[in-house]
Amino acid sequence: MNRYLDIKPEVAQALAEGRPVVALESTIISHGMPWPQNAETAFAVEDMIRAHGAVPATIAIIGGRLKAGLEKDEIEYLAKKGQAVTKASRRDLPVLCARGEDGATTVAATMIVAALAGIQVFATGGIGGVHRGAEVTMDISADLEELARTPVLVVCAGAKSILDLGLTLEYLETKGVPVCGYQTDELPAFYTRVSGFGVDFRADSPAELAAAFAAQRALGYPGGMLCTNPIPEEWSMDPAVINAAIDQAVAESVEQGVKGKKVTPFLLARVKELTGGDSLQSNIQLVLNNAALAADTAAALCKL
């Protein structure tokens, strides 16, 4: 086992016994939502995974230790500390470990720690991708590169709709990452169920999704797989409303010179303000929906 890695005993036992485990990121706790909704959501997501017969493993860096599974007080610590915690991607892990510091893991960093711990399935809200205007800024999330190199199945509600979805799909295609639509032929757009872009293949059950990922592993592919799971219909937002809010938020971020790691938290917070908080409720519901599917898929994977 990696010398910087701590696996929560409950998670380690489940892995040793061949029982389903689902990884969860921690950036959504520190940077994705305000206190106390962030902690409440984190606990609700873990409860959802348990209700579907799997063991949750929320991932973070605490005191320089890579944590595969957090205790309740550790989740509350990250939630209260909020954006004061480093938003940690692949490039940040060595420094945080060496310095004994804390970090909330992005999709990319969560995939790395999950793979180190032997966890194959990971549930999140939405992945990062190619940002709007990337042909000038070159702002492309490390999440896409991680999907191309780390063997983890990521269940999400699509790429965040603040991104350029067409270019994000093109990037994933170039990297050879299979993109699945769960019970849909169209890429969901995070807050909404439709985007106008197609996916590589459709899976209509957790067993079908698990079989595709197991085949990918058996073929020896180096990377992962992306499953895009549409937000529940009752929580889907009006595309015109959410797109107008996103366009305004993006314009404001450019005007204010927001760059790098600060872009996504800024846009999500501004969209929440512009939609009167509706986007936050939609965000919470889609994460719960993804957790349920991830747990069912992890259970199906254990049977193969």
Q: What is the pLDDT of residue 260?
A: 73
pLDDT(255) > 80: yes
pLDDT digits (tens, 9 = 90+) for 123-170: 999 999 998 777 777 889 999 999 999 999 999 999 877 788 999 999
160 is catalytic: yes
H or E element, residue 42: helix 37-51
Residue 215, SS3? helix
Can you tell me the mean pLDDT for 108-119? 98
pTM of the model: 0.92
Can you tell me the mean pLDDT for 223-251? 89
Residue identified by tokens 């169920």 is 193
Q: 112-121, 180-189, 264-273: which has the minimum mean pLDDT?
A: 264-273
Alpha helices in 82-160 (DSSP H): 93-99, 107-117, 134-137, 142-149
What does each C-alpha distance from 103 to 93, 100, 241 come to in angstroms?
8, 10, 34
pLDDT digits (tens, 9 = 90+) for 175-199: 999 999 999 999 998 888 988 899 9
pLDDT(290) > 80: yes
Terminal CA-CA length for the chain:
25
Question: Which candidate in 8, 67, 87, 160 is catalytic?
Answer: 160
pLDDT digits (tens, 9 = 90+) for 90-109: 999 999 999 999 999 999 99
Q: How many domains does one find in the chain?
A: 1
Return the percentage of the chain with pLDDT > 90, whole number. Answer: 75
Q: Which two tokens stand for residue 144?
A: 């896409």
Q: What is the pLDDT of residue 287?
A: 96
Q: What is the pLDDT of residue 142?
A: 94
Question: Which candidate in 25, 46, 76, 146 is catalytic?
Answer: 25
Tell me how far apart the alpha carbons of residues 252 and 269 are, in angstroms, rounded to a whole number. 12
Q: What is the pLDDT of residue 64?
A: 98
CATH number at residue 130: 3.40.1790.10
Residue 24: domain span: 5-302
25 is catalytic: yes
